Every structure is written in C-alpha cells, then in structure tokens.
Amino acid sequence: MLYSSTMTQSALDPAGTAAERIAELFGWMAAGAVVIWLAVVILFLYTLSRERQHSPRAASALIVGGGVIFPIVVLTGVLMVALSLLPDLLARPPGAQQISISGEQWWWRVRYRLPDGEHVELANEIRLPLGEPVDVIVESRDVIHSFWIPSLAGKIDMIPGRRNRLTLEATRPGTFRGVCAEYCGTSHALMRLDAVVLDRDAFRAWLGQQRRPALVTRSRGLDLFLANGCSACHTIRGTPAAGVIGPDLTHVGSRQRLGAGILTNDPHSLGQWIRAPQAIKPDVLMPSFGMLPPDEVRDMAAYLKSLQ
C-alpha cells in the first residue's frame, strides 16, 4: 500500500539543534522582510499623496540611500548572521556516532560505524540517539542528490567524488521524514527516508540488533529468493545472499517503510514490490518479477517480513 505521510517534515517545526538555528534565522529574516515591505508601502503611499515635486537632490538621495546603501547594509547584516551560524552547523563532534549515507537510484545506502570500528549496512532508514550529535557523511556514486531532513538540519548535497559532512543532533523523540532535495531522475520525488529518534539505550539496543545476522536462515521463501537470483543484488547476512547492488535486506522486516519511504512495510506491499517495482517507482534498477506464481511471491514476502 502506498504510504501517505503525516510525519513531521517542516523546517519551521524544528526537532534538532541545527534546524532550531535555521528556523531562528528564518524568523529574523521574515520579520525584517515584513518591516522593509511596510516601509516601502508607506513611502509609496506618501509619494502618491503628495502633489509637489521633490527636488532632484532629495530624489537622488532617496534612490542612492534606499536603493543602494540600505540593501547593502541589510544584506551584509543577514550574510554575517548566516555565516556566524556555519562553524557550529559544520563542526565535527568528537567521538560521535558516524553514519555514511550514499544516494542511489532512488534509495539511500546507510552505513553505521560500530563502537569496535566495524560497519553495518542498512537502507532507507536511520535511527538517532536523542540529544547526541551524530556525524553524517554523505556521498553519491553517479548523480547529485541532496540529503535533507527539514525537522533536524539543513540540506546538504551528495556529490560524486566528494564526501560532505553534516551534524544531526535531535532534541526530541519522534519519526521525521527526510527527502531528496535535488532533482536526480525519474523517481526523484519517490526517494524518501525515515529518521527515528530514540533514547540512548533504545538506540544502542537497535544498533546491536541491526548488526546481528538474519535469524531466519531456512525457509521456502529464502530458497525462492536465492533460486530467483535476488541474491545477485541483495545481501541477507547469515545466508548465501551477498549482492551489493541493491539495499541490504538483513533486517528489512524491522524497517518502518519500504521502497525508500513510499510503501507501508507489510507482506502485501512486499509482494506488490517484488511483482512490479517499476510500476511503483519508475526506472528503479530492480526488475519486475511478475512472472512468478502468486504463492511463491507470497512465501518470499512472508520471509522478508520475518527478517526483524
């Protein structure tokens, strides 16, 4: 089933330290714009109400003062305030949890660095510890994407050949929606991400669980998954499936949504996705498996949902 979102996705309803600073800056800029607009309207009404001509000297002073000097002063002020925010927004927190996120066609490859220096690969969902800064590194293999969770922080481009950084520090628990904010192809608008903010202990427990291999390693669903070649693209740790082209599915059943934030995560949606991903997300790299008998799709979907 297509997922329709009521999740928070507003830069004006911040739930992260960077988003709070940005919302504050927006508030000041909006207030300033209103004041300047009112001043211009008052000046305009004033000139309409006057019969007599201004002296050329007064007119030039108004044009130079209001049209050149005033904008330079105001815009320089705004630029200074915005630049003064940058060092904090870009600071790299020492000892922070590190997450690498890579933009793919059209999903997000996510890698968490574990406390022992190892990495675990996930997809399309990140979880964050409440009140702790997280060091996010973004990159892309082919085209430019832009990673943006409006409630938590500003947006940052994912540029092939570059590693950009962003710090996420959530200030309240909840689930917040991220999007790709740079047109990247046919299904750009279907490239979403869930960011779930948990308290510290729940976060550690979740990360520990995600690192474990799949619990279910024997089932007809898995046999069908392997027999149909799904393992050429997908990994299920603990099974022979070790493909790296598509999302890691080791714990796919535990994710909030499917298909990069666009489907509810249940066996029915999994079945729909296996049968016709191209109909749901045009030009996605995954081929359609509409030729499979319904019972085989059902068994594969049930198996994938069991991967908690």
Tokens linked to 170: 């959530």
Query: What's the closest the beta carbon of residue 184 comes to ligand CUA, in angstroms?
Result: 3
CA 153 to chain centre: 10
Q: What are φ and ψ of residue 264, in 5° steps? A: -65, 150
DSSP code, position 11: T
Nearer to ligand CUA, 152 or 181 (CB): 181
Nearer to ligand CUA, 120 or 184 (CB): 184
Could you say which of 14, 103, 178, 259 contacts ligand CUA (CB under 6 A)? Answer: 103
Query: What's the closest the beta carbon of residue 104 comes to ligand CUA, in angstroms?
Result: 8
The answer to the question of residue 110 lying near ligand CUA (CB under 6 A) is no
Helix axes 220-227, 294-305, angle to 10 degrees: 110
Could you say which of 21, 145, 192, 281 contacts ligand CUA (CB under 6 A)? Answer: 145
Give the binding range for ligand CUA (CB under 6 A) out of 1-9, 182-190, 233-241, 272-280: 182-190
Nearer to ligand CUA, 260 or 297 (CB): 260
The answer to the question of residue 184 lying near ligand CUA (CB under 6 A) is yes
Query: What's the closest the beta carbon of residue 293 comes to ligand CUA, in angstroms?
Result: 34
* CA dist., res. 130 & res. 146, Å (int): 24
Could you say which of 45, 69, 183, 213 contacts ligand CUA (CB under 6 A)? Answer: 183
* CA dist., res. 140 & res. 61, Å (int): 52
Binding-site size, ligand CUA (CB under 6 A)? 9
Residue 282: other Cβ atoms inside 10 A: 12
* CA dist., res. 240 & res. 36, Å (int): 65
As a whole number of Å, the CA-based R_g of the chain is 25
Give the CB-side neighbour count of residue 154, counting CA atoms within 13 A.
18
Give the binding range for ligand CUA (CB under 6 A) out of 126-134, 164-172, 178-186, 224-232: 178-186
* CA dist., res. 114 & res. 209, Å (int): 12
* CA dist., res. 72 & res. 75, Å (int): 5
Could you say which of 110, 180, 263, 300 contacts ligand CUA (CB under 6 A)? Answer: 180
Nearer to ligand CUA, 17 or 187 (CB): 187
Contact present, 140 and 103 (Cβ < 8 Å): yes
Nearer to ligand CUA, 191 or 236 (CB): 191
* CA dist., res. 42 & res. 236, Å (int): 67
Q: Site residues for ligand CUA, window 23-42 (CB under 6 A)?
A: none
Query: What's the closest the beta carbon of residue 144 comes to ligand CUA, in angstroms?
Result: 8
Residues that bind ligand CUA (CB under 6 A): 103, 106, 145, 180, 182-184, 188, 191
